[in-house]
Amino acid sequence: MEKEKLLELYGTMQKIRKFEQHAAKSFAAGIIRGDLHTYIGEEAIATGVCANLSDDDYITSTHRGHGHLIAKGADLKLMLAELYGRKTGYCKGKGGSMHIADTSRGILGSNGIVGGGFNLACGAAFTAKAKKTNKVCICFFGDGATAEGSSHEAMNIASLWKLPVVFVNENNQYGISCHISKGIPIKDTATRALAYDMPAVTIDGNDVLAVYEEARKAIERARKGEGPTFIECKTYRWRGHFEGDPDNYRPKEEIKMWKSKDREPIARFEKYLMVNCGVTEEEFTAIKASIDAEIVKANEFALNSPHPDKMSAFTDVYTDIVEEGRPW
Binding residues for other proteins, rule: CB under 8 A, are 58, 60, 82, 89-92, 94-95, 99-103, 108-109, 111-113, 115-116, 118-128, 130-131, 149-150, 153-154, 156-157, 160, 315-321, 323
Question: Smallest gap, in angstroms, from Cβ of residue 120 to other proteins?
Answer: 4
Question: Smallest gap, in angstroms, from Cβ of residue 130 to other proteins?
Answer: 6
CB contact at 8 A, 325 and 314: yes
Quick one: 37 or 239, whose CB is closer to other proteins?
37
Question: Smallest gap, in angstroms, from Cβ of residue 154 to other proteins?
Answer: 6
Quick one: 103 or 248, whose CB is closer to other proteins?
103
Question: Smallest gap, in angstroms, from Cβ of residue 43 to other proteins?
Answer: 24
Q: Is the backbone of residue 68 left (phi > 0), alpha (psi -120 to 50) or beta? A: alpha
Question: Smallest gap, in angstroms, from Cβ of residue 324 to other proteins?
Answer: 11
Tell me how far apart the alpha carbons of residues 13 and 41 are, in angstroms, rounded to a whole number: 10
CB contact at 8 A, 182 and 136: no
For 174, the enclosing helix (H) or strand (E) is: strand 174-175
254 to each of 58, 187, 233, how far by Cα in Å?
A: 34, 18, 18
Query: Which of 277, 275, 293, 276 has the alpha carbon at shortest distance from 285?
Result: 293
Quick one: 46 or 121, whose CB is closer to other proteins?
121
Cβ atoms within 10 Å of 208's Cβ, excluding its own: 27
164 to each of 109, 123, 215, 218, how far by Cα in Å?
A: 18, 10, 13, 9
Quick one: 29 or 130, whose CB is closer to other proteins?
130
Quick one: 23 or 120, whose CB is closer to other proteins?
120
